[in-house]
Homo-oligomer: A and B are copies of this chain.
């Protein structure tokens, strides 16, 4: 058995997937799962699809593990992550708390920070961009689901300085909004409809801009679709100049195990419950625009299987082990 890992916040969707993946991982040992309101119940009772027989514990700060996946809401994560990191536990944080490198940007979009001394101290956990830094990191800030898809869709263009103007129209399944019941996630509210939300003010916007670099300002609009999990970003790019776009993506992703560049526009279904990001490129001859689609499973590559990919890198395992 390898390193002992805890999943904090395992009763939520993301935590439950992380726990399931680590439970069946050939190397790591899933040592503890924790939860607040469901503490005392078995994880496979709270999530009947799960086959993880561990009892959810209440986290009181004393777990003896090598690493932790923290699946708390933003704000709640910061102090717990800081405590873990400070006593030597390596952390993959699924929240947004340590993704933005500038404290001022965090405060503008999220409000007060619970552990400002650690802002800027995390590695942004997108292996395709920061593989080496992740391997040595004490604290990995796991990307948001939309940023994972959007950044992978646009990074080759960004790196080449080609992004003049970007519109991202994103579609997400309902699990991306979390497990807490609300009117907006009631089956009857979501079924047979598509609804835009947080127009012009979704908090993943600055995260995408940070990783694309430069001074590009994106328009990012998410839509809720009647799908349990899955995410598609449709990116409309005006480039600064003509370029061999296909070659840029081949160069960027040909050696990547979890990024597939395909010919046809991909559907969400094609990556469901996998760690793959599937991308396609299209030129709109009439307008000169470049259109890039990228699709992931928001709970897998968009969150929890990517967390396992990061853990593999952090502990010197094969990046794809257990995925």
Tell me which residues across on chain B come within 8 A of A173, comparing CB atoms.
192
Given known A48-B267, A186-B185, contact A225–B228 (CB-CB < 8 A): no
Q: Does A185 lie within 8 Å of B183, measured CB to CB? A: no
Q: Does B167 lie within 8 Å of A269, measured CB to CB? A: no
Interface residues of A in 158-189 (CB under 8 A from B): 167, 169, 171, 173-175, 179, 181-183, 185-189
A116-124, A280-288, A311-319 - the one binding chain B: A280-288
A226: contacting residue among B179, B199, B226, B272, CB under 8 A:
B226
Tell me which residues across on chain B come within 8 A of A169, comparing CB atoms.
167, 169, 234, 236
- Chain B residue with Cβ nearest A282: B199
Q: Does B228 lie within 8 Å of A188, measured CB to CB? A: yes
Q: Does B194 lie within 8 Å of A227, measured CB to CB? A: yes
What 9 A-B pairs have minimum CB-CB distances, sorted nearest first?
A193-B269, A195-B267, A181-B181, A196-B265, A169-B169, A193-B267, A200-B284, A174-B187, A187-B190
Q: Does B200 lie within 8 Å of A291, measured CB to CB? A: yes
A289 contacts the other chain (CB 8 A): yes
Work out how many copies of this chain go into the complex.
4
A218 contacts the other chain (CB 8 A): yes
Q: Mark A254-266, 1 if CB is under 8 A from B, else 0.
A: 0000000000011
Given known A269-B192, A272-B49, A291-B221, contact A200–B286 (CB-CB < 8 A): yes
A126 contacts the other chain (CB 8 A): no
- Chain B residue with Cβ nearest A183: B181
- Chain B residue with Cβ nearest A229: B188
A212 contacts the other chain (CB 8 A): no
Q: Does A234 lie within 8 Å of B221, measured CB to CB? A: yes
Q: Does B187 lie within 8 Å of A191, measured CB to CB? A: yes
Q: Does A194 lie within 8 Å of B232, measured CB to CB? A: yes
Additional pairs, 11, CB under 8 Å, beyond known A192-B192, A193-B267, A219-B291: A49-B269, A167-B289, A169-B236, A185-B188, A192-B269, A193-B227, A193-B270, A194-B230, A197-B265, A200-B286, A273-B273
Q: Does B282 lie within 8 Å of A191, measured CB to CB? A: no
Cα A196 to Cα B221 in complex, Å, equals 16
Q: How far is the CB of A43 from chain B (nearest CB, A)?
A: 13
A131 contacts the other chain (CB 8 A): no
Cα A192 to Cα B172 in complex, Å, equals 11
A234: contacting residue among B223, B230, B272, CB under 8 A:
B223
Tell me which residues across on chain B come within 8 A of A171, comparing CB atoms.
171, 194, 223, 225
Cα A181 to Cα B282 in complex, Å, equals 28
Given known A187-B187, A265-B196, contact A284–B228 (CB-CB < 8 A): no
A268 contacts the other chain (CB 8 A): yes
A106 contacts the other chain (CB 8 A): no
Q: Does B236 lie within 8 Å of A167, measured CB to CB? A: yes
A187: contacting residue among B185, B195, B285, CB under 8 A:
B185
A219: contacting residue among B183, B186, B232, B236, CB under 8 A:
B236
